[in-house]
Amino acid sequence: MRVATNERVAWVNELLNQFGVMTLRQIYYQLVTKGLNYRQVGYICKVGRVKGLIPWKSIVDRNRPVYSIGRTFVDVDDFLQEVVGYFNLDYWADSENHIELWTEKDALSQVLYRIAEKYHVTVRVTRGFLSLSNKVRWGSDDLTILYFGDFDPSGLFMDKDLQWSQLGFKNFHRIALTQEQIRDHKLPSVKVNKRDPRAASYIANYGMEGWELDALPPNILETLVANTILKYTNFVLEQKQLEQDQLREQIRSLI
């Protein structure tokens, strides 16, 4: 490979060593200061993996869902050996808070879930504007939504869409992206799509630049998720984990 390509592969590996598993778009936003466009980053990641210089499993594509019945078992004994691990204690049973993390970006859902699952908090992906059907299915009066989305014309309007509806969610909080985070982390921007029907209003208030959630460094995003959840937590995580382990041992003894 050319010297420039080797150097760029090294940049990608440096990011993967720092942040772990990433999406192609996350890598792009961390390398945008190097003067690379999205196509160039895609090429480097492809060549690097094909030549064995970048680990295959370190770059993921979360935009293509897989439909399956899930885990299968050889027989009943095989199932019983696994069933204990399916028991998860409701950490929030005694809490006044019922929180969930919502995001428009499926590609980042696993980044959020890596932290959320420790606290047994649900992560939901709206994939843009949420359908009326899912508003009915997902909504409840005691639900607090902690929202993660882009800062652009449609991204900001999603907040209003969820709150303006007759089925609107009263306890809705945008956690990211915010103007403060954009400024503090000096996030790279993208040009606003003028064909977006909400562009005119956005441009009048914020200008021609927009920002994507993917641009936020993964470690910053994970810290933000953890700190946000902790604000609503009224239990000690380690105690809940111990209680869950004890209940799993009870199940194991019954089996």
pLDDT tens profile 31-84: 888 888 999 999 999 999 999 999 998 998 876 767 778 888 999 888 888 888
Query: Is 94 in the same domain as 206?
Result: yes
Strands in the chain per DSSP E: 22-23, 59-60, 98-103, 122-125, 143-148, 171-176, 190-191, 209-210
Task: Pick the closest to residue 101 from 58, 147, 49 (CA basis).
Answer: 147
Over the stretch 140-177, which tens digit does the pLDDT of each residue have? 778 899 999 999 999 999 888 887 655 557 789 999 99
Residue at which a domain ends, from 11, 42, 60: 60
Same domain, yes or no: 53 and 159 = no
Looking at the fold, whether 96 and 202 belong to one and the same domain comes out as yes
Q: Among 60, 80, 98, which residue terminates a domain?
A: 60
Same domain, 179 and 102: yes
The whole-chain average pLDDT of the chain stands at 89
Residue 124 lies in a domain: yes
Task: Give the Cα separation of 138 and 37 in Å (integer).
Answer: 38
In the chain, the number of structural domains is 2
Distance from C-alpha of 67 to C-alpha of 69, rounded to nearest angstrom: 7
User: What does the pLDDT look like over 168-183, one tens digit per residue?
Assistant: 577 899 999 999 999 9
208 is in which domain, residue-wise?
A: 90-232
**Is residue 147 a contact partner of residue 173, using CB atoms and an 8 Å limit?**
yes
Percent of the chain predicted with pLDDT > 90: 56
The yes-or-no verdict on residue 192 having pLDDT over 70 is: yes
- Using CA atoms of 178, 154, 62, 174 in order, give the dihedral in degrees to the nearest 10: 30
Distance between CA atoms of residues 168 and 179, nearest Å: 24
Q: Is the peptide bond before 177 cis (omega within 30 degrees of 0)?
A: yes
Per DSSP, 33 falls in state G
138 shares its domain with 225: yes
Q: Which residues 6+ apart lie within 8 Å of 255 measured at CB? A: 80, 83, 84
Residues 46 and 102 in one domain: no
Locate 70 and state its tokens: 């899930």
Mark whether 37 and 132 lie in a shared domain: no
Residue 207, domain CATH: 3.40.1360.10
Give the count of beta carbons closer than 10 Å to the beta carbon of residue 224. 18
Q: Which residues pair with 176 in a beta bridge?
A: 148
d(CA 106, CA 108): 5
In a domain, 175, yes or no: yes
Helix ranges restricted to H, 150-198: 153-164, 179-184
Percentage of the chain beyond pLDDT 70 is: 95
Q: What is the pTM of this model?
A: 0.78
136 — pLDDT class (breaks 50, 70, 90): confident
Task: Confirm whether 116 is domain-assigned.
Answer: yes
| Residue 146 is assigned to a structural domain of this protein | yes
Residue 43 lies in a domain: yes
39/126 same-domain check: no
What integer pLDDT is reported at residue 100 of this predicted model? 95
Residues 113 and 50 in one domain: no
User: What does the pLDDT read at residue 70?
Assistant: 80
Residue 78 placed within a domain: no
Is the CB of residue 222 less than 8 Å from the CB of residue 111?
Answer: yes
| The predicted structure's pLDDT at residue 179 | 96
**Does any domain span residue 180?**
yes
Q: What is the mean pLDDT of residues 15-35?
A: 88
- 126 and 175, same domain (yes or no): yes
- Same domain, residue pair 113 and 33: no
pLDDT at 234: 92
Domain match, 213 and 166 both: yes
- The answer as to whether 11 is a domain residue is yes
